[in-house]
Copies of this chain bind each other. A is one copy, B any other.
């Protein structure tokens, strides 16, 4: 038996744990500082649980001591410290924490420790990155990479047509942070929420795509002259968010309100929080399109996934967690195609068979991806 240790028992951590637990030949331990999520995940599958303060690197070392592979589903603010601690513990690592910092400079210490660490291993970045790496390796000369991704409520309700699978404040951050993309080999920076375009996706209908800062490591790891990631929402949401932003509702500079200094974004986050939170059992969906062109060929992957009512598993946690568990199993089997180091997913994605193996694991979990190739 191999042993997986899952750091963080939140929504995605629990889905990761349940999936590793259901994988033949794996036993699983989930660690979290909170007891309630540990109880919830223990009720869902046969895992060990460990209540532990994972903000302490020494505790991480101890929790990971007997792991073959560690999976990280920690808050992004703890992402880098956790990666460091797991490398120091000499353990292989797959992470979905989406840390703000650049993790790749830790490659040397990972190599020295004999550790394989794959970061940003969710859906986008994550699965999308693997597809991009695959396209770069497959096409004669990849000229363009386009990524469209969104997590949406199945039922649209006015006025937002949106609920957040994660903290509303992180969504708002996505709506204000300048978006970087690559155009004719140049880095371009555009305001977020711009370049709104309707896009028809199979099985979904028309959604709206707009600029957000989603390329992450791809900007540095891939030499493709045109790369862009856009986020998807139901029509109307972006116009409303643009109006909110223009009103100052996303501002972080405090304003004076009846003698108190108040950050408008805090007020907005507090108001939208209950309105953007999924009800228990409420269905979400995840949609991803990755389109790669070059040498006269175009590869287009389309994914559309829904909430699983049988296991009460959100589509967001399925689509974020299953790429990570697929990569963890590959590492655990000794089948990871590269040596020790810290990798963004596009790097192993370049290797033959890697994408196919990940897609096979997703398919087995009911997440079908359709590939269309045109010349």
Contact = CB atoms under 8 A, between A and B. Distances in A.
A248 interface: yes
Contact of A271 (B159, B255, B266, B272): B255
A159 B243 contact: yes
Contacts of A310: none
Interface string A136-166: 0000000000000000000000110000000
Nearest to A249: B271
Interface stretch (A37-45, A210-218, A256-264): A256-264
Nearest to A272: B247
Interface of A: 158-159, 240, 242-243, 246-249, 251, 255-258, 260, 262-264, 266-268, 270-272, 275
B267 A159 contact: no
13 contacts: A159-B247, A240-B240, A240-B243, A247-B275, A249-B249, A255-B267, A257-B267, A257-B270, A258-B263, A260-B260, A262-B267, A264-B271, A267-B267
A209 to B, nearest CB: 20
A272 to B, nearest CB: 6
B247 A258 contact: no
Contacts of A263: 257-258
A247 B249 CA distance: 12
B260 A262 contact: yes
A240 B236 CA distance: 11
A240 B242 CA distance: 11
Given A262-B260, A262-B262, A270 B246 contact: no
A92 to B, nearest CB: 40
A262 B271 contact: no
A258 B266 CA distance: 7
Nearest to A258: B266
Contacts of A270: 255-257
A242 B267 CA distance: 18
A158 B262 contact: no
A247 B260 CA distance: 22
A258 B258 CA distance: 16
Nearest to A243: B159
A301 to B, nearest CB: 35
A257 B266 contact: yes
A271 B258 contact: no
Contacts of A248: 271, 275
Contacts of A242: 159
B246 A257 contact: no
A128 B338 CA distance: 80
Contact of A158 (B246, B249, B251, B260): B246
A242 B236 CA distance: 14
A262 B264 CA distance: 11
